[in-house]
Amino acid sequence: MKRRNFFQGAATAMTAVVIVAGAIFQTSPALAQSRAATLRVVQEALPNTLDPAGLAGNPRANGYSWNTYDRLITFGKQSLPNGTESYDYNKLEPELAESFAESADGKSITFKIRQNATFHDGTPVTAADVKWSLDRAVSVTTAKNQLGTGSLTSPDQFVVVDPYTVRVDVPRKDRYTLPNLAIAFPVILNSSLVKKNATAQDPWGTEWLKSNDAGGGAFKLEKFEPGQQLVLVRHNGWKSGPLPTIERVITQVVPAASNRRALLEKGDADIALDLLPQDTVDLDKGGKFNIVSTTQVNAFQFVAMNTKTKPFDDIRVRQAVAYALPYKAMFDAALQGRGHPLFGGPSGLPASNYFPAPHPYNTDLAKAKSLLTAAGLPNGFETTFSFDLSVASVAEPVATLIQESLGKVGIKVTINKIPSGQIGQALTKKEVPFYFEGSAAWLRDTDYFFRIFYQGSTRWNFGDFQNPEIAQLVQDARWEANPAKYTAITKRMIQIANEEVPVVLLWQAAQELAAQKNLKGFVYYFHRQVDFRKISRL
């Protein structure tokens, strides 16, 4: 399909017609005349639910939630050395709450709600809405599981003090409580609106919220056509921050990365997301576009080995694989070197407790061969290496290079490409012995990474790693208030992970987008989606 079939320029037509994947979307003449106040975004997919705490919501759902709902508090932002901006995990600021205060013992936090805040339908926001929303968050599965990591587990912890004051009580001071209130899940909903659309079987309105808006954030929903387009318009009554200069955001699905690039180059798209690394490199060379590239500091991609499956139950085999991986070749082939390597760090004890940080492994085939011999496998072994087909543009070159490099030490690798709909279930059941995957953490504390990814029985314990010392250290760290003791505990966690390598960290990819040169205000957030509230035109 030719580029001209995707967008007809809105600046020159009374009605803009877009043909995307065989569907026709029309925008109004008014939109064509207000091009400067409209953002056109092209990306690979849309939210699979509009419920901020929806079960199995995809990353796009988190981005939608971020732009259309308020939370009590949010993260501040910081400027990075490369000139980009990112959220500051160590700085919490008011959002819907105009202020918040923690008690001396850390067991209660009091939030003062903005008295002039309204939901999208004009209904005033009250403390009753806040309590109902938090009650919902600890009662529906997705949000409940996450907020429980911050001691937020029961509706009776949320107390209405007066019409604009809410208190949150916890059993003991928990370093995860406040950060959990700043992520995408615990949004404040228009409780009366949701209740009108709830049922006895569905008291939290989960079905209705999958495709409807009950927020009070900077943008409100105008149109949602699953798999095709999502249109947001500015909520002019928003009081939780500076009013956005962008009045409308049109996000449309363009499945092929090459077509997304073409639309940007033609000027028919303002922002192109989900581009291939090579496309980003090419667009960056010309200097005609604003290329925003920020390391995904809370995310990582890796190779995992199931520590309960032979021969990966032997630490020497896992270390051999770690020494046999062709790190630099994979980094260059998969990401064009755009990101932050997590390999080739200093050997010995960790220098700091920052995590994820580069592990001490580099490509050393002689060491790999020696370790295999010590493990009783001098001639290697056979295994499969799996990856999710939806990330084939990155995973396939990784798999091919691993197959080639491991073959040099006698490990015969068969590449297994698994459809997205199947790999999640297989990983949950711990059925995949050796594979490529990526993940991200909502929170940035070092012990949080280990709590989620290096112990327990969930899917996110990718190596099915069970180490009693790690389990104890995770519990100790959560409540440790002494910084020196916390650092010592978390350094030991990193040391164990480096030695026993249930997963081999590869890199933190760069979060990248390409935009027209006249756009500014992009900020990287943990949810890895675009915050439209801060974007403006030069």
Please provide the size of the chain in residues.
538
pLDDT score, position 34:
66
CA dist 187 → 133, 153, 379 (Å) = 7, 16, 56
Q: Residues 195-237: pLDDT tens digits?
A: 999 999 999 999 999 999 999 999 999 999 999 999 999 999 9
Nearest to 135 by CA among 104, 158, 114: 158
Q: Show the tokens assigned to 347.
A: 């050997």
Does the structure show a pLDDT above 70 at 361? yes
Neighbouring CB atoms inside 10 A of 287's CB total 9
Please give the Cα distance from 469 to 35 (Å, whole number): 58
Classify strands 248-253 and 229-234 as parallel, antiparallel or unpaired: antiparallel
The alpha carbon of residue 160 and the mean position of all alpha carbons in its chain are separated, in whole angstroms, by 32
Q: Residues 235-267: pLDDT tens digits?
A: 999 999 999 999 999 999 999 999 999 999 999
pLDDT score, position 83:
85
Task: Report the pLDDT averaged over residues 356-378.
Answer: 97
Which domains, and CATH codes, for the chain? Answer: 3-67+217-288+517-537 (3.40.190.10), 88-193 (3.90.76.10), 299-510 (3.10.105.10)
One DSSP character per residue, 164-184 reads TEEEEE-SS--TTHHHHTTSS
Please give the Cα distance from 209 to 204 (Å, whole number): 9
The span from the first CA to the last CA of the chain, in angstroms, equals 33
Whole-prediction pTM: 0.88
Task: Report the pLDDT averaged over residues 59-78.
Answer: 96
Amino acid at 398: V
What is the percentage of the chain residues whose pLDDT exceeds 70? 94
Q: Residues 329-355: pLDDT tens digits?
A: 999 999 999 999 999 999 888 999 999
Task: Report the pLDDT averaged over residues 179-200.
Answer: 97
Is residue 7 a contact partner of residue 237, using CB atoms and an 8 Å limit? no
pLDDT score, position 92:
97
